[in-house]
Amino acid sequence: MRSRSVLTTGGSIAAAVVFSLVLQAIGLLPVVLSDQYDVAYRFTAYAESDAPQTTPSRFEVEGQGFECQWSGLPNQPLARNAYPSAYDVRCNTVDADGQGLRRLEVGLKRSGWDTASSGIEMDMQRSASAGWVLLSISAFILMTLVLVRATSEGWRWGGLPRLGWRVAPLLLAPLSSAAAVVFIGSLLVGPAPGEAAPLAGGMASSTAGVPLFYLMPLVAVLPEEAMFRGWLHERLFKRLPAWLAYLVIAELFLLLHLGLVAAMFSGGASAAVAVVQAAGVFCISLALTWVRRRSGSLGLCVLAHAISNLGAMAMVLAG
């Protein structure tokens, strides 16, 4: 009987691993299958002597839009004395045909700016395609419906009124725990020099081209909670000690965020930052499981998880 229980527990864990890999693959589809690229250009722009001193923050060339940030360089010696001023410029765009650099130079020329003396640095990564984003979101919802049918309890809201004022701290517990871990960890390891920290959600961070992509981390909380605080929760807490079930679910939840797991083994300062963020994700899972145990509500877990993802997205966008 005990061996059968062990096998059943192992099967549940294996199913959660497969689910995590499938969910990761679905989340990456909009980027992997897209033919668009988010491109960031950085250069020094020189104003022509007879050109108006305007710094266009937005312009469009042949239907392709550019958003630019201009920073004055008053103390920089100019490479060409004929130009009265220079700016450090960063422009972002979505390029679908490889003609972005040419269009950028055309747009700058029209506004009276030249980059010939400095050259242009370019950083590009795949951008999410709107059609694939909608398909991924649909797949998330379908997976949720399947898991809801396989979960016997937790989706009712009727028991929430008895919690009263405790609903608010339950909703904020995952975000608060992760923020505390990341804050303490950042004091110990500091940021990776010259590198952005990995996105805690583990999904692609290239989102400038398709605002719809921002919905994916929010919709993804539905199948994630249906699996980890629903289907898997029901099976593990019946067969394992509570403390072990907490840890197993948190470990599997961390596996879902493969980007952080991979970055932990990359070496250097960025690996230390990834370890801190992975600890934050681990604590989010522990807190969400605690919310599930305290409230009995999977809906409350979904809301708490969405709040945590919103907090992570806000930090990424602010950075």
pLDDT at 80: 44
Q: How far from 93 is each of 66, 127, 213, 309, 314, CA to CA, in Å?
A: 5, 10, 16, 25, 21
pLDDT at 94: 85
* Model pTM score: 0.74
The residues of the chain scoring below 50 in pLDDT are 75, 77-82, 192-210
Each residue's pLDDT tens digit, 167-221? 899 999 999 998 898 888 888 776 544 444 444 333 333 333 446 677 888 899 9
List the one residue out of 315, 245, 240 whose CA is nearest residue 280: 315
Contact 301, 225 (CB under 8 A): yes
Handedness of CA 195, 199, 203, 206 (dihedral sign): negative
pLDDT at 203: 38
Cα–Cα–Cα angle for 151, 153, 158, nearest 5°? 140
pLDDT at 109: 86
pLDDT at 165: 86
Q: What is the C-alpha separation between 317 and 315, in angstroms, rounded?
A: 6
- For residue 273 the two structure tokens come to 């930052």
pLDDT at 78: 46
Domains detected in the chain:
2-34+128-318 (no CATH), 36-127 (3.30.70)
Each residue's pLDDT tens digit, 25-55? 898 888 778 777 888 999 888 876 665 567 8
